[in-house]
Structure 1
Amino acid sequence: MDELNRWLLERDRENMEELERIQATNSQAVALVAQYQLEQTPRGRGSRPGRAPNVERHREVRGQFLLQDYFVERPVYDEASFRTRYRMHKHVFQRIMEDLYNHDSFWRQKPDATRKMGLLPEQKMTGALRMLAYGAAADQCDEITRMGTSTALKCLKKFCRQIEFLYGEWFLRPPNSADLYRLLNRGQRRGFPGMIGSIDCMHWEWKNCPTGWAGAYSGRKGRPTIILEAVASYDTHIWHAFFGTPGAQNDLNVLGASNVFERVIGGTAPQVQFEVNNKRYTNGYYLADGIYPRWSTFVKTISNPRTEHEKHFCKKQEAYRKDVERCFGIIQSRWAILRHGARLFKLEDLRAIMISCIILHNMIVEDEFVEKEFVEPEEDDLMNPSMATVYDRPVHPDTGEPIQFEPVGRDGQHLPAFRDREFQVESAYLHKCLQNDLVMHNWSMDDN
């Protein structure tokens, strides 16, 4: 019995030694694996060994400071300072923030995994607007908004896309009947009856353009750019924006891909009728520079004016065509991100930035621009045949009744209505007739 007990104790001791030896071997293997992962894994790659510690930015305290600076009843900085730094009045900012807050939960303040409250909606919107207004990089907003680079870029992209989704249908719409009447009234008093606005293109440099695309996007300046085609009125409101054409193209190529006359050719645009030099026309037009084609919807200057009538017309046309150039200068000054080279890599992100800047520009123009000279027309003015009229659909120029006919081609075959409207838009004969009539109209109007 004693021998059996001694044998059992000796066997248990040997088993314990073997177990300790196995555990020591496993511990050494685990240590070697951990050391290998630590040496091979790059730093800052998520929840892995070697990840840099989080930066304590004190976002809650600094968020309260931001509220005290701008958003309390008696802020540190007044309304003028807010307008300068945010490019808009406070009530416009509050309206946008409320709409974003109700549209996406991303803009709401939420606690994180440690029960610590996150960023305020004012902080997120401030970061996005500072990047647009000052052209600042994402890490430059950290001192004001207390957010990291990735969070700042996420705020910018979400802000731009949701601005287009929420406000693009109204603030980037083509002019309706009321808008057309106001624009035509101003054009009439300027000496250009039937003028809706002016059209031109702007280039935005793409600093981080992919190398494989650099040839297609590099124009005469040798740097990759993206083209914006825009139609602007006298109040610098942008009624049409077409963005995304490579910078190696010219304005004619952009016009060929643009949808600026899609509603006119499709028959869904309001019908405009006006009279110049005792002749009636049925299409509104834009003032354009010399590269645009000789269409009835464009009025260009005369390249070699000879008579005093033509010189006077060229002077006025070139002056009023600068409305769109002035609009480009304002939008680049207001949103400095468009003045500097674009640093993002994806074309869809750049498009969202451009369209959102245009929408915000139109919101600011609608909020701040006051029409001081425009007055409601009297009944006698409405009966004047020289006053421009606007109809919700195409009408007959003589009877004023809606047009219901099928145009006939040279071979006697009926043409689709949209083909007839396309021929009228691209008519060089109507372009020349309208230009000549405007020359005489401006000369007689200014009593020269």
Structure 2
Amino acid sequence: MALEDSSSSEEEEEDDDDFDTVLGMIFNDDVRRPRRASQFGRKYINRDRAEDHAKIMRDYFGPNPTYPKKYFHRCFRMHTSLFLTIAKPVERYDDWFKLQRNASGEITTSPLMKCIADVRVLAYGCSADAIDDYVRIGEDTISEAIRRFTKAVIAVFGPKYLRTPIEEDTQRLMTDSEARGWPGMLGSLDCMHWRWKNCPVSWKV
């Protein structure tokens, strides 16, 4: 089922943390000064969040992106339009995703980078520290982002897209399956209910 972006154009214009304007808003020289690590003994890594955000924009979301749309679909298991349809409501739902300053006065990671990290981890099932070299976000932040992202998706989209199918949904899905040559199939992941003449004897039902 394709997700629909229910937000109006007026709401998007009022969104101060819109992905397209994030760089020009708050990434200034005063927040790029060297910082100390937040914990004793931990080495501070200057990830230069402004440049990292700009790189992701150039790679996939700019007017002339470095990589074609099919690359985004291959890497993140969804189209860019679907990604934005999910990411923007998530940002509006949870203020943690919005741009803000942390306790040391440094600007936090952009909403785009947090959502990119979430979808990348969920798409590949990789560990939180496996994508730091691209999204430039620490393991702890990615883990927190994934936890909040999944909760936000359930809260925002659950009532419409994660609910139990009603009779109308079931009939539509059955009709679609029959048109594809799989009559009587609904939610089958292993094809156990499909007659297969070459099925091994041990699997015969």
Are residues 1:167 and 2:157 paired? Answer: yes
Contact 1:79 1:89 in 2 (8 A): yes
Cα distance between partner residues in 2 of 1:130 and 1:168: 21
Are residues 1:84 and 2:93 paired? Answer: no
Q: Once the 2 structures are TM-superposed, how far is the Cα of residue 114 of structure 1 from its aligned partner?
A: 4.2
Matching residue within 166, 186, 198 for 1:176: 166
Are residues 1:100 and 2:90 paired? Answer: yes
Change (3 A) 1:70 1:175: same
Between Structure 1 and Structure 2, how many residues are aligned?
161
Cα distance between partner residues in 1 of 2:107 and 2:176: 53
The 5 A counterparts of 1:157-306 are: 157-185=147-175, 195=184, 197=186, 232=187, 289=192
- Report the aligned-residue RMSD: 3.0
String of CA shifts for 1:321-352, please: whole Å, max 9, x gaps: xxxxxxxxxxxxxxxxxxxxxxxxxxxxxxxx
TM-score, length of structure 2 as denominator length: 0.66
Amino acid at match of 1:162: A
Change (3 A) 1:288 1:80: closer
Amino acid at match of 1:104: D
Identity %: 24
Contact 1:139 1:148 in 2 (8 A): yes
Specify the alignment match of 1:149 in structure 2.
Answer: 139
Cα distance between partner residues in 2 of 1:115 and 1:187: 54
Structure number with greater Rg is: 1
Cα distance between partner residues in 1 of 2:80 and 2:182: 38
Cα distance between partner residues in 1 of 2:182 and 2:132: 52
Cα distance between partner residues in 1 of 2:115 and 2:93: 14
Specify the alignment match of 1:253 in structure 2.
Answer: none
String of CA shifts for 1:47-78, please: whole Å, max 9, x gaps: 5xx53242222222212111111111111112
Cα distance between partner residues in 2 of 1:179 and 1:76: 39
String of CA shifts for 1:264-290, please: whole Å, max 9, x gaps: xxxxxxxxxxxxxxxxxxxxxxx985x
The 5 A counterparts of 1:35-434 are: 50-185=40-175, 195=184, 197=186, 232=187, 289=192, 314-315=195-196
2:66 is paired with a residue whose SS is coil
Cα distance between partner residues in 1 of 2:152 and 2:182: 40
1:162 is paired with a residue whose SS is helix
Cα distance between partner residues in 1 of 2:81 and 2:69: 10
Contact 1:60 1:118 in 2 (8 A): no
Change (3 A) 1:106 1:181: same
**Structure holding more strand per residue:** 1
Change (3 A) 1:124 1:184: closer
1:77 is paired with a residue whose SS is coil
2:131 is paired with a residue whose SS is helix
Cα distance between partner residues in 2 of 1:128 and 1:135: 10
Cα distance between partner residues in 2 of 1:63 and 1:132: 20
Where does the alignment leave 5 or more consecutive residues of structure 2 unmatched? Answer: 1-37, 200-205
Cα distance between partner residues in 1 of 2:58 and 2:170: 44
TM-score, length of structure 1 as denominator length: 0.32
Amino acid at match of 1:79: K
String of CA shifts for 1:293-317, please: whole Å, max 9, x gaps: xxxxxxx68xxxxxxxxxxxx448x
Cα distance between partner residues in 1 of 2:67 and 2:182: 45
